[in-house]
Amino acid sequence: MKTQKRLILSQTDDKLRKYARIENIVTPQSGWLRAIREATGMPLHKLAKKLHVSPSNVLQREKREADGTVTLRILKETAEAMDLKFVYGFVPKDGSLQKLVRRKATETARKIVSRTSQSMELEKQAVSSARLARAIKEKILELELEMPTYLWD
């Protein structure tokens, strides 16, 4: 199971890595639908005809995209009518899913080891800072391997 989780993580990371190249592209203020329609010189009424909707419906789609309230179905449908392919994806803020898991494992390991260390101090059984660092490192590796659901608490 652990190996399967790691394999899925790695494969998904590979797919998402392709999106990293476009993460810094700035979306036009008016949205991509209007920007592309205007850039290609496609009249509003022609796009409306292709979509079998009114021109005001097309304007509403463009407005909803710019507002961030449009659905994926509408974006895909409109892209098809404009002879475009609609693509969407996610870019991990940490650079990769593996780095995200590492960060969450590190945060969680520090909390777990810190709680244990505090309990031991209260019982007059404190451990050295070197042993504490080693325990954190070991817990990070364990959490990365296991990827328990509580990483996301």
Per-residue pLDDT at 40: 97
Please check whether residue 17 is in contact with residue 109, taking contact to mean a CB–CB distance below 8 angstroms: no
Number of H helices, E strands in the chain: 7, 0
What does R_g of the chain's alpha carbons equal in angstroms? 25
Per-residue pLDDT at 139: 93
Per-residue pLDDT at 22: 83
Per-residue pLDDT at 120: 54
Domains in the chain, CATH or no CATH each? 1-21+93-153 (no CATH), 24-90 (1.10.260.40)
Per-residue confidence in pLDDT tens, the chain, 153 aa: 578 888 999 999 999 988 888 878 899 999 999 999 999 999 999 999 999 999 999 999 999 999 999 999 999 999 999 999 999 888 898 889 999 999 999 999 999 888 876 655 545 555 677 888 888 999 999 999 999 999 999
Q: How many CA within 13 A on the CB side of residue 45?
A: 0
Q: At what angle do helices 44-51 and 55-67 cross, to 10 degrees?
A: 100
Q: pTM for the full model? A: 0.73
